[in-house]
Amino acid sequence: MLYRETGQFKTTYAEDIAIFPIRQDRIALAVLLGIAFIGVPLLATFRIWPFGSDYLLWAILLPFLILALAAIGTNILVGYCGQISLGSGAFMAIGAYSAYKLATGVHIPFAALGFAISIPPLPVLASILLGGLMSAAAGILFGIPSLRIKGLYLAVATLAAQFFFDWAFLRLPWFTNYAPSGSVNAPELVFFGLVVRTPVERYLLCLVFVTLLAMLAKNLVRGNLGRQWMAIRDMDIAAELIGIRPLYAKLTAFAVSSFIIGVAGALWAFVYLGSWEPLAFSIDRSLELLFMVIIGGLGSIMGSFIGAAFILIAPIMLNVLPTELGLPLSTQTITHLQFIIFGSLICYLLIKEPHGFARLISIGKEKLRLWPFPY
Partner 1 sequence: MIAFGQFLEVLIGGLMSGVLYSLVALGFVLIFKASGVFNYAQGAMVLLAGLALVRALDLLVANGFPLWVAVVLGIGFAAVIMAATAWLIERFVVGPLVNQDALTLFMSTIGVTFVIEGVAEMIFGSDVYPLQLFPTDAWFLFEGLFPGGILVNKLDVWGALIAGILVAGLALFFQRTKTGRALRAVADDHLAAHSVGIPISWIWFVVWLAAGLVALVAATVWGTKLGVQFSITFLALKALPVLIIGGLTSIPGAIVGGLIVGAGEKIAEVYLGPSIGGGIEYWFAYVLALAVLLVRPQGLFGERIIERI
Partner 2 sequence: MASIARNVLILAAVLSGAVVCTPAAAQNEQFIPILSYRTGPYAVNGAPYANGVVDYYNLINERDGGINGVKILFEECETAYATDKGVECYERLKSKGPTGAAFINPLSTGITFALTEKTATDKIPIVTMGYGRADSKNGAVFAYNFPLLGTYWSAADIAIQHVAKELGGLDKLKGKKISLLYHDSPYGKEPIPMLQVLAQKYGFEFTPIPVTHPGVEQKSQWLAIRQHRPDYVLVWGWGVMNSTAIKEAAAVAYPRDKMIGVWWSGAEPDVTPAGDQAAGYKALMLQHGAGKFPVHADIEKYIYAKGKGSTEPGKIGEVLYNRGITNAMLGVEAIRKAQEKFGKKPLTGEQIRWGLENLILTDARIKELGFEGMLKPVSISCSDHEGARYGRVQQWDGKGWKVISDWYTADESLIEPLVADVSAKYAAEKKVTPRDCAKET
47/55 Cα distance (integer angstroms): 11
By the rule CB under 8 A, 338 interacts with partner 1: yes
| Binding region for partner 1 (CB under 8 A) out of 20-28, 103-111, 225-233, 340-348 | 340-348
CA gyration radius, the chain: 22
Q: Which does 118 bind (CB under 5 to 8 A by kind): partner 2, partner 1, none?
A: none
Phi, psi for residue 33 in degrees, rounded to 5: -65, -35
CB of 112 to partner 2, least distance (A): 26
By the rule CB under 8 A, 339 interacts with partner 1: yes
Phi, psi for residue 258 in degrees, rounded to 5: -65, -35
Q: Which does 80 bind (CB under 5 to 8 A by kind): partner 1, partner 2, none?
A: none
| Binding region for partner 1 (CB under 8 A) out of 29-37, 40-48, 141-149, 206-214 | 141-149
Comparing CB distances to partner 1, the nearer of 274 and 343 is: 343
User: Quick one: which of 112, 113, 117, 241 contacts partner 1 (CB under 8 A)?
Assistant: 241
User: Quick one: which of 47, 107, 171, 245 contacts partner 1 (CB under 8 A)?
Assistant: 171
| Binding region for partner 1 (CB under 8 A) out of 48-56, 118-126, 213-221, 341-349 | 341-349
| Binding region for partner 1 (CB under 8 A) out of 52-60, 98-106, 231-239, 305-313 | 231-239
Q: Could you tell me if 266 and 127 are in contact, meaning their C-beta atoms sit under 8 angstroms apart? A: yes
Tally of helices (H runs) and strands (E runs) in the chain:
16, 6
264/368 Cα distance (integer angstroms): 35
Burial (CB count within 10 angstroms: exposed 0-12, middle 13-18, buried 19+), residue 358: buried
157/142 Cα distance (integer angstroms): 9
284/297 Cα distance (integer angstroms): 20
Number of residues that bind partner 1 (CB under 8 A): 47
234/49 Cα distance (integer angstroms): 47
- Residues of the shown chain interacting with partner 2 in the complex, contacts defined by CB under 8 A: 53-55, 58-59, 63, 167, 170-171, 180-183, 185, 187-188, 272-277, 279-280, 284, 316, 319-320, 323-326, 330-332, 334-336, 339
